[in-house]
Structure 1
Amino acid sequence: MTTHHPTQTTTVQTIFRFLLGGALILAGTSHLTWARTEFLAQVPQWVPLNGDLVVVLSGIVEILLGLSLIFLARQRVLVGWVVATFFVLVFPGNIAQYLNHTDAFGLNSDLARGIRLLFQPVLVAWALWSTGAWAAWRRNK
């Protein structure tokens, strides 16, 4: 039986970590450019900041998280937890879009918005699995 370094991941996990990183960079860039108005639809009205500021700041955070997933391999476990936490923190925006029946990103029905809600836990799991964060947590338990 081989012993694995606590932060060692498989080639498949690394590929998926890079894919998630690229997706976050793309999403963050879209926050700052072509999809800025669409992202405004996801800022809950109860957030005490200017909606456009929230969109810009979250876009910058997404770009930084994406770059971290790709380039901070030695800290990938910590980055995995940070990315997973980010996905949890933005989830209220997705819920607000559903509850307020706001059309954005082609989600123009409650069914489509509801289905999208189901994918947020997938993103959390993806971040934790692809970085080895979940395995590291289980080993340290």
Structure 2
Amino acid sequence: MRVRRYSCAMLAMLYALAGALHLIIPAPFVAIVPDWVPAPASVVMLTGLAEIAGAAGIGQSWAPRLRIAAGCGLSAYALCVWPANVQHMLLDLAKPEHGLGLAYHLPRLAFQPVLIWWPLWAANVTAWPFRQQT
């Protein structure tokens, strides 16, 4: 299905860019890592590498099992970074000027389930909510 291939390409570009940003300018990402996460700088570096690996896996078309594994990995990644996004919102809203505000943070948090589902759908792990093709 062409839409899935385009989705894989788009996810590959987005995650490659995000991963590169984690490696090139880690400070903003380190700043939002929750306190209970050990070694925040190392975690940010590893998440950047994971995003790049996921981008490479979901972006290729010659190994369907690798694409499926990458889709599952990117989905799990999006689930695991959700606490950092909540932490970012709490830190931002605690600032006197309220940082980026609820108009930024609430849609970002609400979109997180889509970021969990999208790689699974694009990699053909699930057909939900669309009808399975026969």
What band does the TM-score fall into relative to the shorter chain?
Answer: 0.7 to 0.9
Question: 1:36, 1:112 → 2: CA distance?
Answer: 21
Higher relative contact order (CA 8 A, sep 6+): 1
Total equivalences in the alignment: 124
Q: Is the 8 A contact 2:9 2:59 kept in 1?
A: yes
Q: Is the 8 A contact 2:54 2:71 kept in 1?
A: no
Question: 1:80, 1:53 → 2: CA distance?
Answer: 23
Structure-1 residue corresponding to 2:110: 118
What are structure 1's unaligned runs of at least 5 residues? 1-9
Query: Residue by residue, what CA displacement relative to the aligned partner does 1:30-86 show, whole Å, maximum 9, x if unpaired?
Result: 1011x3211123211111x22211111110111011001112641122322221111
Question: 1:37, 1:119 → 2: CA distance?
Answer: 24
Say yes or no: does 1:57 pair with 2:46. yes
Q: Kindly report structure 1 stretches of 4+ aligned residues shifted beyond 3 Å.
A: none
1:135 to partner: Cα distance: 2.8
Alpha-carbon RMSD across the aligned residues, in angstroms, is 2.2
Q: Is the 8 A contact 1:25 1:66 kept in 2?
A: yes
Structure 1 length as normaliser, TM-score? 0.78
Structure-2 residue corresponding to 1:5: none
Q: Is the 8 A contact 2:55 2:70 kept in 1?
A: no
1:125 to partner: Cα distance: 1.8
Query: Residue by residue, what CA displacement relative to the aligned partner does 1:85-118 show, whole Å, maximum 9, x if unpaired?
Result: 1110111110111123268xxx621331222111
Say yes or no: does 1:95 pair with 2:86. yes
